[in-house]
Structure 1
Amino acid sequence: MVLNVVLAFSIVLAILTIGEIVSTKTKAFVPSVFVSATLFLIGYWTILPADIVTQSSFATPIVYLSMYLLLTHMGTLMSVKELLGQWRTVLIALAGIAGICAMTLSIGQVLFGWQAVVAGTPPLTGGVVASILLSNAATELGLPAIAVLATAMYIMQGFFGYPVTAFLLKKEAKRLAEQVRSGEVSFKPHEKLAKENEAESGNKFRIFPPVPEQYLTPYVILLKLGFVAWLAVLASPYLHLNQFVVCLLFGVIGRQIGFLEEKALVKANAFGFLMTVLMAFIFAGLAQATPEMLKEIAAPLFGIIVLGVIGMGIFSIIVGKLLGYTKEMAFSVAMTALYGFPADYVLTIEAIKSMTKTEEEHDYATDQMLPKMLVGGFTTVTIASVIIAGIFVKLL
């Protein structure tokens, strides 16, 4: 079925809008990404064309452009000091990955067999690259059902990750908001921003003067973001890091030296549209999850996910407690393996919005939670899952 581009665009936005409305009405108890994913899945099984997201114009190359710019922008939300201070988050995220592997390779192997857990575990630890590697390897070995399992694992794991993470993040946001309300924590957003600006103006790392306000247009901001993202893509092979990770790092550095503005895409009035592009593209993958596919591999698919989440929770909470994180924050960081960016950002912002009442509470919760979730997502999805997949391909 071929739709008019504007109609396809409107249908996609209607689904995303319904997700937002349900999330707002339920105070993020039912996260928008879960609602939207469910509606897309039902739509693909009934009346929606499988390529509706592509027909709506949310396809490559604009998806990759959005990813580059958004991740560089995310870097402008953090300082070098904040980024380096997230080493505990990295350890907790890795502990969660270890928990997944421990449970699936032990109990999972007994219940579902070696091939199923070897193919299903890497996609559960993170991104699409792991899914593709294991799916291709299973196909080459003449194991079509196992290949389908690897693909379905990547597609379906978010249905577990979204609601569980939303519940955990809401509890954490509520705890942080209550710290501000009770006077236990003093966090003044405007004072903090003034101090940051003052510190940046005297920052020994700043080598670029501020752009005069009359020249700080969306064109200029987007030009600078694009330039930094391009440098990140060029540098990634030499740094032996994923190019999206390098975009985040270069965004942090770009802000530190004064070349990029803080919250760059927000100031360029482009953040909302680019996030819409990325969220729509993520749900396009659900078109592959046909009822026949899910019926064929339902038992190992959902069994491995449940075991993996249990192992992830146990390991991350234990390590998190040793490193001073609450069990909710530690588990949430590990859960980023089930969806990554941008869902980790959306879930965090929705939880904070629903649990805070003042700007002070909102900014404090964002300051405490968002960097952890972003770094956790990159650790699990972008880095750890690829390494795990490279190892497990040889075990299949």
Structure 2
Amino acid sequence: MTLNVIQAFSIVLLILALGEFVSTKTKAFVPSVFVSAVLFLVGYWTILPADIVTQSSFAKPIVYLSMYLLLTHMGTLMNLKELLGQWRTVLIALSGIAGICLMTLTIGKLFFGWHTVVAATPPLTGGVVASILMSTAAADRGLTAVAVLATAMYVMQGFFGYPITAFMLKKEAKRLVDKYRNGEVAAVNNPASSVEAEDSRFRIFSPLPAKYQTTYAILLKLGLVAMLAVAVAPFLHLNQFVVCLLFGVIGREIGFLEEKALVKANAFGFLMTILMGYIFAGLSKATPAMLAQIVVPLFGIIVLGIFGMAVVSMLLGKLFGYTKEMAFSVAMTSLYGFPADYILTIESAKSMTKTEAEREYVLDEMLPKMLVGGFTTVTIASVIIAGIFVKLI
């Protein structure tokens, strides 16, 4: 079925809006990404064309543009000291992946076989790159069902990750709100002032006068920083999206980029919409026949992996002073990555807070950890693990 661009766009936005509506009504108990994923999946199985997201104009060029700008913008939400202070988060995220591998390669191997767990584990620890590497390797060896499993693992893992993370983040947000309301963090009543004081030590660009902080000017500066990040990434041997995040932090520190740049440019919401629509396009590959063929190993490996992730990440998190909810949430980012980690955190904070000050405090505590966790697992670790596992299949 072929739709015109505004018809396809409206259908995609209707599904995303329904997800938000359910999330708001349930106070994030049912996260919007989960609802939208279910609606897209049912739609693909019934009336929606498989390429409806592409028909809505959310194709790869604009999606990649959105990713570059959004991740550079995310860097403007954190200061350098904050980013460097997240080394515990990185270790907790990596420990969660270690827990996944430990369970799948031992108990999982006994139940489902070596080739199956080797192909399914890297996609479970991260994103689309790991899925492509493992499915291609399995297909090249004539393991068709295993290749399908690697793809389905990437597509379906979010159905477990979204609700579990939402539940954990809501508990963590409630703890932080109670702490704030009890006056335990009264000293942190104006985080913006401390940030500005810290920025001033590195600032080499004078602040752009407010009247010149237009949509065009802010987007231009974000584009220039992202362009530089993409050019430098190969020399740093880092993923270009990770470098965009890092350069966003640096751009804000030196005063070239404004804090919350895309929000000030009034462009954040639309770019997030583009990205979310494109992510759900991957569900068009999860046909009922595919799922029926590999349903037992698919869900079995996911359950084993999550159990291993929970145990190891919570233990290490306790040593580092993280609550079990925060540590598990950081590790769970491997099941979806960005932007779902951002959206789940925002929704949980909104559902548990009443004032802007409370919300800012909760987000300051949770969002950097979730973003860093997502980049550690999905963008970096999963690709490394896939590179190792592809030789084992």
Q: Which residue of 1 aligns with 2:192?
A: 193
Runs ≥4 residues deviating over 2 A: 194-200
Alignment of 1:104-253 (within 5 A): 104-186=104-186, 191-200=190-199, 203-253=200-250
Q: Which residue of 2 aligns with 1:47?
A: 47
Q: Which residue of 1 aligns with 2:24?
A: 24
- Once residues 198 and 115 of structure 1 are traced to their aligned partners in structure 2, the CA distance between those partners, rounded to angstroms, is 54
- Once residues 3 and 187 of structure 1 are traced to their aligned partners in structure 2, the CA distance between those partners, rounded to angstroms, is 56
Figure out how many residues of one structure are paired with residues of the other and give that number. 393
- Once residues 218 and 341 of structure 2 are traced to their aligned partners in structure 1, the CA distance between those partners, rounded to angstroms, is 25
1:272 is paired with a residue of what secondary structure?
A: helix
- Once residues 145 and 211 of structure 1 are traced to their aligned partners in structure 2, the CA distance between those partners, rounded to angstroms, is 56
Deviation per CA, 1:272-305, whole angstroms, max 9, x where unpaired? Answer: 0000000000000000000000000000000000
Q: CA deviation at 1:263?
A: 0.1
Q: CA deviation at 1:184?
A: 1.4
**2:136 alignment partner AA:** N
| Residues 80, 256 of structure 1: 8 Å contact kept | yes
- Once residues 384 and 309 of structure 1 are traced to their aligned partners in structure 2, the CA distance between those partners, rounded to angstroms, is 16
Q: CA deviation at 1:153?
A: 0.2
Q: Which residue of 2 aligns with 1:76?
A: 76
| Residues 72, 228 of structure 1: 8 Å contact kept | yes
Q: CA deviation at 1:185?
A: 1.5
Q: Which residue of 1 aligns with 2:372?
A: 375
Identity of paired residues, percent? 76
Q: Which residue of 1 aligns with 2:357?
A: 360
Deviation per CA, 1:326-382, whole angstroms, max 9, x where unpaired? Answer: 000000000000000000000000000000112221111100000000000000000
**1:106 alignment partner AA:** T
Q: CA deviation at 1:196?
A: 2.6
Check if 1:331 corresponds to 2:328. yes
Check if 1:298 corresponds to 2:289. no
Q: Which residue of 1 aligns with 2:310?
A: 313
| Residues 92, 319 of structure 1: 8 Å contact kept | yes
Report the RMSD for the aligned CA atoms in angstroms.
0.8
Q: Which residue of 1 aligns with 2:99?
A: 99
**1:355 alignment partner AA:** M
Q: CA deviation at 1:212?
A: 1.3
- Which range is displaced more, 351-360 or 26-35? 351-360
**1:287 alignment partner AA:** S
Deviation per CA, 1:99-142, whole angstroms, max 9, x where unpaired? Answer: 00000001000011111100000000001000000000001000
Q: Which residue of 1 aligns with 2:85?
A: 85
Question: Structure 2 residue aligned with 1:281, among 275, 278, 283?
Answer: 278
Q: CA deviation at 1:218?
A: 0.6
**2:167 alignment partner AA:** F
**2:195 alignment partner AA:** E
Q: TM-score, normalised by structure 1?
A: 0.98
- Which range is displaced more, 178-187 or 111-120? 178-187
| Residues 168, 328 of structure 1: 8 Å contact kept | yes
**2:14 alignment partner AA:** A
| Residues 180, 187 of structure 1: 8 Å contact kept | no
Q: CA deviation at 1:193?
A: 1.6
Check if 1:342 corresponds to 2:339. yes
| Residues 130, 389 of structure 1: 8 Å contact kept | yes
**1:75 alignment partner AA:** G
1:394 is paired with a residue of what secondary structure?
A: coil
1:297 is paired with a residue of what secondary structure?
A: helix
Gaps of 5+ in 2: none
Q: CA deviation at 1:188?
A: 5.4
Deviation per CA, 1:27-74, whole angstroms, max 9, x where unpaired? Answer: 000000000000000000000000000000011100000000000000
1:61 is paired with a residue of what secondary structure?
A: helix
